[in-house]
């Protein structure tokens, strides 16, 4: 095994994207096409979100105060909170978002694949790298539910962002052509269809096309803002934060804050898309380009609203474009507004794919098929099923709400809730993961908890006006994820608790020995040979035998006391050897053989001549060379048993080649016993002519709760969740769906699992 593969096996996880010099600048440029179009298209609707066209015209001081609230919200939340604070709290794989914060508090176990290939070792300690929890285990579920709520609302945000952005942009056509007003919804749906159909091309290709468009759009915003500011330079008073405070003191209109919130929508996309890029590229692009352009745009709109008043109030963005309505600049901005809003939708769609990847890896969602679209960045994924679900949901939302005003009421609630959720988790991270002083964490929580709480309270008032829709979607997704995390955790715990060493239930005896003396291997040792593959010697000091070993199924599998093996051998069932090859797929990591293999031997009291225990491991590289595809260990306790790890890169599909494993096994045998290997290799090749894939399947059964007044109710509820809901879902989303080929080569072994 090469040193590079050893490092990947023991580490087993990808790292954050690293880039310097020109690659960093290119990556920063690409962020424009993925991350910022959501926040970059907010000028289309923010001022009319604060002051609806159907309401009274705001005074000059109110406009100054509103622009001040927008500028300082952009400064305190996207710039300081997300770009310069939150991005430092991603996972070591480079992922961001609320669920990534949970992974930092309760890291998942990173299993060593050599440890996974161990089938009989009992004396060695744990060889896995288990992350140490930073908080009490009792807080794990409350924090997980909190994280999943934030994550589920971000996913709901992925539905409303395309709906709000595209309808707002398309609605501008009514300014120049009032007769087209009735066609805004169909036109918006057509653009959304085109957007979702483009997703299979991948993040990198889409970003390369979208980034120049977003760049031009932001430049147009900044330049038109500068032109508009000249009409009323006094708008620069908005940089005084007291103007924002005085606005709410003077008007006592708390609902204005719900409109200001629309200016910072897209904050969570900055953090959630961290895995697609990296911290430095996002910091460069936002602070040096996006933020200045947005500030200039809002200042310019405020200046024109003060000077022109009622004539621009009906649609502040389109009416404040310099030049005549319907002139060349108007149509240029209109076209780029539509393109930018389509790209804005891309930001949340991409973030949704990243979050789905994290949830599947953490087993909080079923194993959904993911397509990796980049050879360099593992975080750039496309999830086909999620893409089509988002497309349908977004189109339904656009058709149901029918106006951008109704959509923006529903839109802000999800954003505000996710922002508040992130603030709480970041504060906990500061103290228990980064080990910063408690004073820093408390100060952060007080400042940003207060700001996010203000926005969340304003958005909460919008629930009767449409915000109940993302809340309902988020709660449904959260319940689904909590349920899957709980049920899958019970199944994995059962699998881990019932793993067996081969020596626990298969006992050996030489045919020509004078008495029932059982071959009891001593403590395990590992022999590493140079060259391809590795060999695990599981017997320590090998005793010579004059005949071929006979194997028996121990009558008391749960026993395992080696001192009683002699008695067991006399009463146990002899296992015949069949000249075939069986590839047994291991679904989860860990030493020993799965409980389902014990069930297999019980059902068919025979051992194939060749048994391969195969586990798969996706490594943080795009592709694996053929020479390093498989690593095979030999089990000496039972003749013909081998453990193999199938390595594949994140851009590769599952395609197990049993012939290649057989060749590696033969090479292994030839190197271990060169004098006596010819006959063994002949038997191996003969057995390999008939290969069967054995796929384990747990038939889950809910265990009964004893005692207590509510035991019957709890039993009924657990049975409903586990047997009537989880069991069919596991069948629909098998872990080995992509592992094996023809159904004629598969035997599915079902084992009852009481969880």
**Single residue among 438, 456, 489 that ends a domain in this structure:** 489
Residue 548: Cβ within 10 Å count: 10
**Residue 708 located in a structural domain:** no
Burial degree of 194 (CB within 10 A; 0-12, 13-18, 19+): exposed
In a domain? residue 515: yes
Altogether, the residues listed in the chain come to a count of 755
At a CB cut-off of 8 Å and minimum separation 6, what does 251 contact?
62
Judge whether residue 408 has pLDDT over 50.
yes
Q: Are 372 and 381 in contact (CB under 8 A)?
A: yes
587 domain-assigned: yes
H or E, element range at 337: helix 328-361
What's the confidence (pLDDT) of residue 15? 54
Cβ-contact 369, 340 below 8 angstroms: no
Residue 398, pLDDT > 70, answer yes
CA 398, chain centre distance (Å)? 27
Cβ–Cβ under 8 Å, residues 615 and 116: yes
Residue 253 backbone dihedrals phi, psi, to 5 degrees: -105, 95
In this prediction, residues 273-297 reach a mean pLDDT of 89
Mean pLDDT is lowest, of 210-214, 306-310, 549-553, for: 549-553
| pLDDT at residue number 347 | 67
* 729 within a domain of the structure (yes/no): no
Reduced to 3 DSSP states, what percent helix, strand and coil does the chain have, rounded to the nearest 5? 60, 10, 30
Question: Nearest to residue 102, comparing CAs of 130, 156, 139?
Answer: 139
Higher pLDDT, 224 or 621: 224
Describe the crossing of helices 184-197 and 384-401 by its angle, rounded to 10 degrees. Answer: 170
CATH number (domain holding residue 224)? 1.20.1740.10
42 and 142: one domain? yes
Is residue 369 a contact partner of residue 385, using CB atoms and an 8 Å limit?
Answer: yes
Least confident segment among 140-154, 316-330, 376-390, 690-704: 376-390
Tens of pLDDT, residues 537-576: 343 333 343 356 788 887 765 544 444 444 444 456 788 8
Selection from 372-386, 521-535, 591-605 with the highest mean pLDDT:
591-605
Do 505 and 591 sit in the same domain of this protein?
Answer: yes
> CA-to-CA distance for 28 and 38, rounded, in angstroms?
16
Highest mean pLDDT among 220-234, 456-470, 582-596: 220-234
**Average pLDDT in the chain:** 79
The per-residue pLDDT for range 56-71, each reduced to its tens digit, is: 999 999 999 999 999 9
Q: 517 and 474 in one domain?
A: no
Output the pLDDT for position 124.
34
pLDDT greater at residue 86 or residue 585: 86
Q: And the tokens for 100? A: 């990534």
| Whole-Å CA distances, 482 to 151, 362, 701 | 12, 12, 19
Q: Which residue has the higher pLDDT, 719 or 504?
A: 719
Q: For 493, what's the count of Cα atoms within 13 Å in the CB-facing half-sphere?
A: 8
- Greatest extent of the chain over all pairs of C-alpha atoms, in Å: 108
Confidence at residue 469, expressed as pLDDT on a 0 to 100 scale: 84
Residue 688 pLDDT > 70: yes
Could you report the per-residue pLDDT of 475-525, keeping only the tens digit for each? 999 999 999 999 999 988 888 787 777 777 787 764 434 333 333 333 332
Give 744 or 538, the one with higher predicted confidence. 744
Average pLDDT of span 227-245: 95
**Structure confidence at residue 242 (pLDDT):** 95
> Is the CB of residue 499 less than 8 Å from the CB of residue 594?
yes
For a pLDDT cut of 70, what percent of the chain falls above it? 79
Per DSSP, the three-state class of 32 is coil
Tell the residue number behind the tokens 């100054």, with chain if given. Answer: 64
Last residue of a domain, one of 467, 489, 511: 489
At 85 the pLDDT is 93
And the tokens for 502?
Answer: 């081969």
CA distance linking residue 321 with residue 298, whole number of Å? 12
CA distances to 423, 430, 432, 436, 448 from 443, rounded to whole Å, are: 11, 11, 15, 12, 8
477 and 506 part of one domain: no
Reported as a pLDDT band with limits 50, 70 and 90, residue 204 is low
CB 535 within 8 A of CB 519: no
Buried b vs exposed e over 676-701: b needs ≥16 C-beta within 10 Å? ebeebbebbeebbeebebbbbbbebe
Which range has the worst mean pLDDT, 204-208, 533-537, 636-640, 725-729? 533-537
- Tell me, what DSSP letter sits at residue 58? P
pLDDT digits (tens, 9 = 90+) for 417-429: 889 989 999 999 9
Out of 300-309, 343-352, 500-509, the most confident range is 300-309
Query: What pLDDT does 573 receive?
Result: 77
- In terms of DSSP H, where are the helices of 580-738? 595-603, 658-672, 677-687, 711-719, 727-732
Positive or negative CA dihedral for 29, 35, 37, 39? negative
> What are the backbone dihedrals phi and psi of residue 530, each rounded to the nearest 5 degrees, phi first?
-70, 155
Segment 97-134, tens digit of pLDDT:
777 788 788 876 655 556 666 676 443 333 334 456 67
45/50 Cα distance (integer angstroms): 9
Residues 572 and 482 in one domain: no
The more confidently predicted of residues 268 and 644 is 644
Query: Nearest 5°: CA angle at 404, between 402 and 405?
Result: 105
> What is residue 95's predicted lDDT score, i.e. its pLDDT?
73
Please compute the mean of the pLDDT values over residues 333-357 and round it to a whole number: 80
Distance between CA atoms of residues 107 and 325, nearest Å? 56
3-state class (DSSP) for residue 755: coil
What is the dihedral angle through the alpha carbons of 418, 423, 426, 427, rounded to the nearest 10 degrees?
-150
How far from each other are the two terminal CA atoms of the chain, in whole angstroms? Answer: 39
Tokens 């991350």 sit on residue: 35
Confidence tier at 293 by pLDDT (50, 70, 90): very high
Half-sphere exposure of 510 (CA within 13 A, CB side): 13
User: What percentage of the chain has pLDDT greater than the value 90?
Assistant: 26
Residues 522 and 581 in one domain: yes
In a shared domain, residues 676 and 748: yes
Among 489, 521, 553, the domain-final residue is 489
Domain contains 188? yes
| Token pair 């360099």: residue | 376
Q: In sequence order, what DSSP letters do the residues of 505-557 get, joined into one string?
A: HEEEEETT-SS-------S---B--SSSS-B---SSSPPP-SS-EEEEE-S-T
What pLDDT score does 527 carry?
28
Using alpha carbons only, what angle is made at residue 567 by residues 564 and 572, rounded to the nearest 5 degrees?
A: 110
User: Which residue is associated with the tokens 């952005």?
Assistant: 165
Is residue 212 a part of any domain in this protein? Answer: yes
Higher-pLDDT residue of 184 and 525 is 184
Q: Which of the residue ranges 71-80, 159-168, 385-394, 486-495 has the most confident prediction, judged by mean pLDDT?
A: 71-80
List the domain range (segments joined by +) for residue 581: 500-698+744-754
Sign of CA dihedral 749, 750, 751, 753: positive
**CA pair distance 642, 639, nearest whole angstrom:** 9
Rounded Cα gap, residues 258 and 49, in angstroms: 8
**Which of 696, 612, 619, 690 minimizes the C-alpha distance to 656?**
612
pLDDT confidence of residue 745: 66
Of 176, 172, 203, whose CA–CA distance to 354 is shortest? 203
Looking at the structure, tell me whether residues 521 and 421 fall in a common domain: no
Shared domain for 470 and 597, answered yes or no, is no
Examine the domain organization and report whether 552 and 423 are in the same domain.
Answer: no
Number of domains in the chain: 2
207 and 246 assigned to the same domain? yes
Q: Which helix (H) or strand (E) holds 643?
A: strand 641-649
In a domain, 296, yes or no: yes
35-39, 73-77, 192-196: segment of lowest average pLDDT: 35-39
> 570 and 463: one domain?
no
What mean pLDDT do residues 20-48 have? Answer: 84
Residue 724 lies in a domain: no
């Amino acid at each position: 095994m090469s040193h590079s593969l050893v490092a990947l096996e023991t580490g087993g996880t990808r790292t954050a994207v690293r880039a310097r010099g020109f690659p960093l600048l290119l990556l920063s440029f690409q962020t424009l096409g993925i991350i910022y179009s959501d926040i970059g298209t907010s000028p289309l609707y923010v001022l009319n979100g604060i002051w609806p066209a159907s309401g009274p015209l705001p005074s000059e001081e109110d406009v100054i105060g509103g622009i001040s609230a927008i500028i300082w919200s952009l400064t305190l939340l996207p710039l300081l909170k997300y770009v310069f604070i939150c991005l430092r709290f991603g996972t070591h794989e480079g992922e961001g978002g609320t669920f990534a914060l949970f992974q930092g508090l309760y890291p998942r176990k990173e299993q060593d694949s050599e440890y996974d290939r161990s089938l009989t070792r009992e004396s060695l300690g744990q060889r896995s790298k288990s992350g140490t929890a930073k908080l009490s285990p009792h807080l794990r579920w409350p924090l997980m539910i909190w994280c999943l709520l934030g994550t589920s609302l971000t996913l709901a945000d992925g539905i409303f962002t395309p709906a709000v952005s595209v309808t707002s942009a398309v609605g501008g056509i009514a300014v120049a052509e009032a007769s087209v007003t009735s066609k805004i919804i169909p036109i918006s749906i057509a653009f959304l269809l085109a957007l979702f159909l483009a997703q299979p091309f991948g993040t990198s290709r889409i970003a390369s096309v979208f980034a120049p468009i977003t760049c031009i759009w932001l430049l147009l915003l900044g330049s038109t803002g500068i032109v508009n500011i000249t009409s009323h330079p006094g708008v620069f008073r908005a940089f005084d934060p007291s103007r924002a405070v005085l606005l709410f003191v003077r008007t006592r209109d708390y609902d204005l804050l719900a409109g200001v919130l629309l200016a910072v929508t897209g904050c969570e996309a900055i953090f959630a898309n961290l895995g697609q890029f990296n911290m430095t590229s996002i910091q460069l692009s936002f602070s040096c380009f996006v933020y200045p352009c947005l500030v200039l745009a809002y200042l310019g709109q405020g200046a024109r609203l003060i000077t022109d008043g009622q004539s621009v109030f009906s649609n502040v963005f389109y009416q404040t474009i310099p030049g005549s309505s319907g002139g060349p600049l108007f149509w240029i901005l209109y076209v780029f507004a539509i393109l930018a809003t389509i790209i804005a939708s891309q930001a949340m769609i991409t973030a949704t794919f990243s979050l789905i990847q994290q949830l599947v890896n953490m087993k909080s969602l079923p194993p959904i098929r993911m397509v990796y679209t980049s050879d360099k960045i593992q975080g750039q994924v496309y999830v086909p099923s999620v893409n089509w679900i988002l497309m349908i949901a977004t189109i339904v939302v656009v058709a149901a709400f029918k106006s951008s005003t109704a959509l923006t009421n529903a839109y802000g609630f999800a954003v505000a809730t996710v922002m508040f959720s992130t603030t709480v988790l970041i504060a906990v991270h500061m103290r228990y993961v980064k080990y910063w002083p408690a004073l820093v964490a408390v100060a952060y929580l007080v400042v940003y908890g207060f700001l996010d709480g203000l926005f969340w309270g304003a958005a909460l008032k919008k629930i009767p006006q449409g915000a109940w829709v993302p809340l309902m979607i988020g709660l449904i997704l959260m319940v689904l994820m909590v349920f899957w995390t709980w049920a899958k955790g019970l199944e994995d715990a059962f699998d881990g608790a019932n793993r067996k060493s081969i020596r626990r239930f298969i006992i050996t005896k030489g045919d020509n020995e004078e008495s029932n003396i059982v071959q009891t291997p001593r403590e395990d040792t590992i022999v590493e040979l140079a060259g391809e593959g590795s060999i695990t010697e599981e017997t320590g000091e090998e005793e010579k035998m004059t005949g071929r070993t006979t194997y028996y199924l121990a009558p008391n599998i749960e026993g395992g006391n080696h001192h009683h093996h002699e008695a067991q051998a006399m009463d146990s069932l002899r296992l015949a050897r069949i000249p075939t090859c069986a590839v047994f797929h291991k679904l989860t990591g860990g030493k020993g053989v799965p409980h389902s293999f014990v069930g297999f031997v019980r059902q068919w009291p025979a051992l194939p001549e060749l048994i391969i225990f195969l586990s798969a491991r996706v490594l943080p590289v795009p592709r694996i060379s053929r020479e390093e595809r498989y690593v095979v260990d030999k089990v000496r306790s039972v003749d013909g048993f081998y453990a193999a790890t199938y390595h594949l890169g994140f851009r590769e599909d599952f395609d197990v080649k049993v012939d290649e494993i057989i060749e590696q096994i033969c090479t292994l045998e030839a190197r271990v016993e060169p004098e006596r290997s010819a006959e063994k290799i002949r038997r191996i090749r003969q057995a390999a002519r008939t290969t069967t894939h054995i796929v384990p399947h747990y038939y889950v059964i809910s265990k009964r709760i004893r005692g207590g007044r509510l035991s019957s109710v709890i039993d009924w509820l657990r049975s409903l969740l586990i047997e009537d809901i989880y069991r069919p879902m596991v069948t629909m989303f098998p872990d080995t769906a992509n592992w094996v080929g023809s159904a004629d080569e598969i035997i599915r072994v079902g084992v009852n699992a009481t969880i």
